[in-house]
Amino acid sequence: MFKKLAYIILTLIPGSVLANQPKEWQLGFQKPASQGMEDIVWFHDYMLLPIITAITVFVLFLLLYTCVRFRASKNKVASTTSHNTLVEVLWTLIPCLILVVMAVPSFKVMYSQDTIPKADVTIKAVGYQWYWGYEYPDENIIFDSYMVDEKDLKENQPRLLTVDNEIYVPVNKVVKVMITANDVLHAWALPSFGVKRDAIPGRINETWFKADRTGTYYGQCSELCGIKHAFMPITVNVVTEEEYNQWLDKAKVEFAKEESSNNIKVAKKIKEIK
Ligand SMILES: [Cu+2]
């Protein structure tokens, strides 16, 4: 009964509310779709936010208390006290302890982001001014991914986030992303997976995610990279293993590395010249 009701309510809510993309007047994060992002959300909601709120309220209370208690009309002769050992030790020690308490779960999250498990799928993402190039090195697939112009959008395709060639990954599999750039700094970021890494020319950064539900996920370049920085979105389709294999079969033909890879073209040219 409850499940049925929940389903009816869910179908009544417009798609945009449930979609994995930013929405108008959004507060907080996008809905997590990986353990990594769930850890980040937990850390933010149950560690950072309560501590920040408590400190802010406490400082505000101290300020107001001082303003009222020591106002000029009630406190004609000001105190000349300039030191108090106990208070000084406390206001050094307590913040230290708060930082230590925060550091423990923070390091845990950072460590899990940094340790890449054995990858099921490896993707190489290359930032260009202004689009992303993708490569599946194990599958000999290579293609470019450009933003779709507003006038060419189909129904339900979000503005500034839709691309012509999306990446496909299987659900519940470890996806390793190797990130680099070809011209200037870019950053490959996907909020629902809790992933953001700089794309640096001449260097490869690695990150990983394991999407735990299917769907279309949107991200953007997150490092100011020039005039069209805002127009190089990232679209990831998380699909079932079966659908992924179907896509692979299609992509191996459509995006075969031999035809589009510059290196191979150059190698062919050199052979011809010889
Ligand atoms: Cu960029």
The whole-number pLDDT of residue 78 equals 86
How many helices and strands, by DSSP H and E, does the chain display? 8, 10
Report CA dihedral (257, 191, 41, 224) to the nearest 10 degrees. 110
* Alpha-carbon gap, residue 96 to 99, rounded angstroms: 5
The whole-number pLDDT of residue 14 equals 44
How far away, in angstroms, is 84 Cα from ligand 1 center? Answer: 52
The whole-number pLDDT of residue 15 equals 43
Give the count of beta carbons closer than 10 Å to the beta carbon of residue 112: 14
How far away, in angstroms, is 264 Cα from ligand 1 center? Answer: 26
Three-state DSSP state, 180 = strand
Taking each helix axis as running N to C, give the angle between helix 85-114 and helix 35-43, from 0 to 180 degrees, rounded to the nearest 10.
Answer: 170
* Alpha-carbon gap, residue 142 to 132, rounded angstroms: 11
* Alpha-carbon gap, residue 176 to 191, rounded angstroms: 16
How far away, in angstroms, is 165 Cα from ligand 1 center? Answer: 17
Q: How many residues does the chain have?
A: 274
Asked whether 251 and 143 are in contact (CB, 8 A), the reply is yes
How far away, in angstroms, is 102 Cα from ligand 1 center? Answer: 32
* Alpha-carbon gap, residue 164 to 147, rounded angstroms: 6
How far away, in angstroms, is 49 Cα from ligand 1 center? Answer: 30
Query: Hey, what are 246's tokens?
Result: 């179907």
The whole-number pLDDT of residue 17 equals 44
Nearest Cα neighbor of 173 from 215, 114, 113, 213 is: 213
Q: Measured in Å, how far apart are the chain's first and last C-alpha atoms?
A: 75
Taking CA atoms, 238 is separated from 66, 149, 157, 208, 211, in Å, by 56, 23, 16, 14, 7
- Point out which residues pair with 142 in neighbouring strands: 135
How far away, in angstroms, is 8 Cα from ligand 1 center? Answer: 40
How far away, in angstroms, is 7 Cα from ligand 1 center? Answer: 39
Three-state DSSP state, 204 = coil
Asked whether 134 and 167 are in contact (CB, 8 A), the reply is yes
Helix-strand-coil split of the chain, %, nearest 5: 45, 25, 30
* Alpha-carbon gap, residue 50 to 45, rounded angstroms: 7
How far away, in angstroms, is 235 Cα from ligand 1 center? Answer: 14
* Alpha-carbon gap, residue 68 to 87, rounded angstroms: 21
How far away, in angstroms, is 188 Cα from ligand 1 center? Answer: 8
* C-alpha 257, offset from chain centre: 28
Tens place of pLDDT per residue across the chain (274 aa): 555 555 455 444 444 445 688 888 988 899 999 999 999 999 999 999 999 999 999 999 999 999 999 998 988 888 888 899 999 999 999 999 999 999 999 999 999 999 999 999 999 999 999 999 999 999 999 999 999 999 999 888 899 999 999 999 999 999 999 999 999 999 999 999 999 999 999 999 999 999 999 999 999 999 999 999 999 999 999 999 999 999 999 998 888 886 545 555 555 555 666 5
How far away, in angstroms, is 271 Cα from ligand 1 center? Answer: 35
